[in-house]
Structure 1
Amino acid sequence: MTTLRVFADDALARSSAQPRINGLTRYAGELTRALIDTAPPECDVELIASSRPKSALTELESEFPAATRTTVSRLSHCVLASAWAGGIRVAAGTGILHAPSLFAPLVGHDRSVARQLVVTIHDTIAWTHPSSLDGGTAAWTRRMARRAAKHADAIVVPSHAVAAELTERIDVGERVRVIPGATSSSIVLPAEPEVRSSWLKLPERFVLASGSMDPRAGIAELIQAAALPDFHDVPLLIIGDDEWRGQRITEAAMLAGLPEDRVRPLGTVSDSDLALLLKRAEAFVAPSYAEGFGLMALEALAFGTPLVHSDAPALVELASGAGYPVVRHDAGSSYAERLAAAVGNVLHGDADAESLATLGRDRAKAFSWRDSGARVWQLHAEL
């Protein structure tokens, strides 16, 4: 029996009492399930977790009941992350190891002991927009990426855009493999959508986005766009918290001269509410200046929601012509003006919203977690 040992911490990065909207958490959970579901004959999946309360381990086992077993370290997540970043060989593990992030034992090991290690780097934000990350996350990520270049047998990235950007920054040789994510099967409409829509006080028409006042997200420019005539006074609903490091979405809307009901932060939403929002939105806008993949944009495509997106390489790659791209940098006009014009074209202009919806649904079918899981197994087999 061949066992693939998967680091499972990222799949439980948030409490089970909270909606699981975090992109890394969703990716890790969905990929782990896919690896279990697509395991070849005579192969199984073992989970590896850091020390945590019994309740969290129970949750882990309930999330992945088909995993063969769970091995728990005596050390906490933080201790392991610090030790591995410092090159300390603790709880390194042997056998065939797969990490859905850089949380992995990227340290030197005894070459007489068989070990194969594949890790995942989701984006290059730690280099391009380090201020977007909390605390020392950017420095830790860069350090672990350098360790990955030295100690990992392969590095998985979600897009060709990230592959190109990463190879410009660290020497990874020929070890990068592009294996994208997909939409989640848990994002389904609620049983009574009209009742839920009323409870959420959804306007009859609205444009949807996701993000914060982090400059990388482009939400500030989108709010400015909402104040321009091309936006046609359609309300803008934003998934995510109102406040980011002292900057508030509601204050930005007020400074843009928008009425209180025109821009509304929704906070964290459940999977069923996300499905409802995507289904009801007249457009989804992804204005980010930098992305690694664009999971929320892909979910919009899957629901047939017309997608307006920046020309960030990963988003252009993801949409592949199924969205309405907007140039981020152009001396001829402001980014807010270009975003407003694009939204206006989708709502009332030359862009064919029905065609975008059809193209989006077709494009989303190109992504499958089962395919991603099978490709990970194939990668390990090739190594």
Structure 2
Amino acid sequence: MPELVVLTEQLLAPVPGGTGRYTRELLTAMAASAPPDWTVAGVTATHKDLSPAVVSGVAGPRALPLSRRGLTALWERGVHLWPGGDTVHAPTPLAPPAPRRGRSLIVTVHDLVPFTHPETLTRRGVSWHQAAIRRAAGRANAIVVPTDAVAEDLHRYAPGKATVAVVGHGVADALLEPVEPAQLHATAVGLGLPSAYVLAVGTVEPRKGLDVLIEAMAQPFAPDLPLVVVGPRGWGEVDLTALADRHGLAPGRLHVLGRITDADLAVVLRRATVLAAPSRAEGFGLPVLEAMAVGVPVVHTDVPALVEVAGGAGVSVRRGDAKALAAGLRAVLDDPASTARRVESGRSRAQAFTWGHAAAELWRLHTRFFAMASVR
């Protein structure tokens, strides 16, 4: 039986982030929809604890005999350490060299931020990601990107022989399942949620534009609401409390929840008055899709990927402009009729993005390139 191997190393990263959610959700959906004659396995580098990389319905994870650093170094140098399987999916640019005869490789490139906005990443991160993306574009059978905007950036900054396929993300089942009123109340009390609030979801790092959002919330014409921020700390030492003090955001208006479970996120999303997506750069913008799916209005920056995902269902504002962001948030509250139309449009649009659809598209690619490799 042919085997699909998915590299699940991102699930073991200190901050899995959006690419970690992508890896788990996509792999779960692919395992559930595998063709009858295929098996699916997860593979990682060597770690003391592999349990975070366990995915229901997926064999493994199997650990390669190298640390993440060692594995990365070998693949950077073109050493052909194949992770096993007949076809491999790399959910991030950490990927093996070009496959040999009879095998195939598909790599997901989530964004071209290392090329377009290098100032929002570490120097080391920029250097590694630029090289890894170029290698993948030149060695893989196909590159999967989440939006047309990323496809355009890939053709501009890292063109290669690989076929490029646009496959969007989906919304986790845990966020779509109905939440009982008693659970809504209990979770809200447990997390200390205000009765109404502006919500931001994402890793706390420079690219996410949370500094601009805090400045926006301190504007005199901004909504007089608390700001709730959900997400783990990333790089860059973004101190949200210090930013609130600097911009004069009144004490008590900032609530930083950090990393929370999907069950808690389902409650936090549903209770939000509006979701703010102030990013400076994105490849997709999963929180925008998740908010639209549960009927929460969205205000996002004019980053091309966010505009593409929202499809006109959100309020778009200039990136990096705190006053424009404050005005956009204010407009959501001041024009309930327009907001209701956008919410309905957002719900409808979100239904087109599912992990099941993404999995089906990925299986189509993998079986196609595996068949091509088998007859060479």
Using the size of structure 1 for normalisation, the TM-score is 0.88
Does the aligned pair in 1 maintain the 2:17–2:203 contact within 8 Å?
Answer: no
Counterpart in the other structure of 2:165: 177
Matched, 1:10 2:5: no
Does the aligned pair in 1 maintain the 2:201–2:230 contact within 8 Å?
Answer: yes
Aligned partners of 1:327, 1:245: CA distance in 2, in Å?
23
Aligned pairs for 1:1-383 within 5 A = 1-13=1-13, 22-53=17-48, 55-56=49-50, 58=51, 60-61=53-54, 63-64=55-56, 66-68=57-59, 70-91=61-82, 93=84, 95-107=86-98, 111=100, 113-134=101-122, 136-173=124-161, 175-187=163-175, 189=179, 192-211=183-202, 214-240=205-231, 245-328=236-319, 335-349=321-335, 352-383=338-369
SS at match of 2:174: coil
Does the aligned pair in 1 maintain the 2:141–2:162 contact within 8 Å?
Answer: no
Aligned partners of 1:241, 1:102: CA distance in 2, in Å?
22
Aligned partners of 2:235, 2:248: CA distance in 1, in Å?
20
Q: How many Å apart are 1:352 and its aligned residue? A: 2.2
Q: How many Å apart are 1:298 and its aligned residue? A: 0.9
Given the superposition, is the C-alpha separation of residues 375 and 328 from structure 1 closer, same or farther in structure 2, using an over 3 Å criterion?
same
Q: How many Å apart are 1:31 and its aligned residue? A: 0.8
Q: Deviation string for 1:13-60 (max 9, x for gaps)? A: 35xxxxx9721111001111111111122222122222223x42x554
Q: How many Å apart are 1:233 and its aligned residue? A: 1.6
Q: Deviation string for 1:151-171 (max 9, x for gaps)? A: 101001111110001110012
Q: Residue type of the partner of 1:49?
A: T
Q: Deviation string for 1:243-292 (max 9, x for gaps)? A: 86344211211121221112232221221221111111110010112100
Matched residues, number: 366
Q: Residue type of the partner of 1:88?
A: V
Does the aligned pair in 2 maintain the 1:225–1:337 contact within 8 Å?
Answer: yes
Given the superposition, is the C-alpha separation of residues 201 and 70 from structure 1 closer, same or farther in structure 2, using an over 3 Å criterion?
closer
Does the aligned pair in 2 maintain the 1:212–1:249 contact within 8 Å?
Answer: no
Report the RMSD for the aligned CA atoms in angstroms: 2.3
Q: Residue type of the partner of 2:318?
A: V
Aligned partners of 1:129, 1:370: CA distance in 2, in Å?
31
Aligned partners of 1:232, 1:371: CA distance in 2, in Å?
37
Counterpart in the other structure of 1:332: none
Q: Which runs of 5+ in 2 are unaligned?
A: 370-376
Q: How many Å apart are 1:206 and its aligned residue? A: 0.8
Percent of aligned positions that are identical:
37
Q: Deviation string for 1:150-194 (max 9, x for gaps)? A: 210100111111000111001224611011111111335476221
Does the aligned pair in 1 maintain the 2:142–2:164 contact within 8 Å?
Answer: yes
Does the aligned pair in 1 maintain the 2:10–2:16 contact within 8 Å?
Answer: no
SS at match of 1:181: coil
Aligned partners of 1:340, 1:324: CA distance in 2, in Å?
11
Does the aligned pair in 1 maintain the 2:205–2:233 contact within 8 Å?
Answer: no
Once the two structures are overlaid, the 10-residue window that deviates more, 32-41 or 124-133, is: 124-133
Does the aligned pair in 2 maintain the 1:81–1:103 contact within 8 Å?
Answer: yes
Using the size of structure 2 for normalisation, the TM-score is 0.90
SS at match of 2:353: coil
Does the aligned pair in 1 maintain the 2:5–2:43 contact within 8 Å?
Answer: yes
Q: How many Å apart are 1:382 and its aligned residue? A: 2.6
Q: Residue type of the partner of 2:46?
A: S
Does the aligned pair in 1 maintain the 2:138–2:161 contact within 8 Å?
Answer: no
Given the superposition, is the C-alpha separation of residues 68 and 225 from structure 1 closer, same or farther in structure 2, using an over 3 Å criterion?
closer
SS at match of 1:161: helix
Aligned partners of 1:242, 1:99: CA distance in 2, in Å?
25
SS at match of 2:173: coil
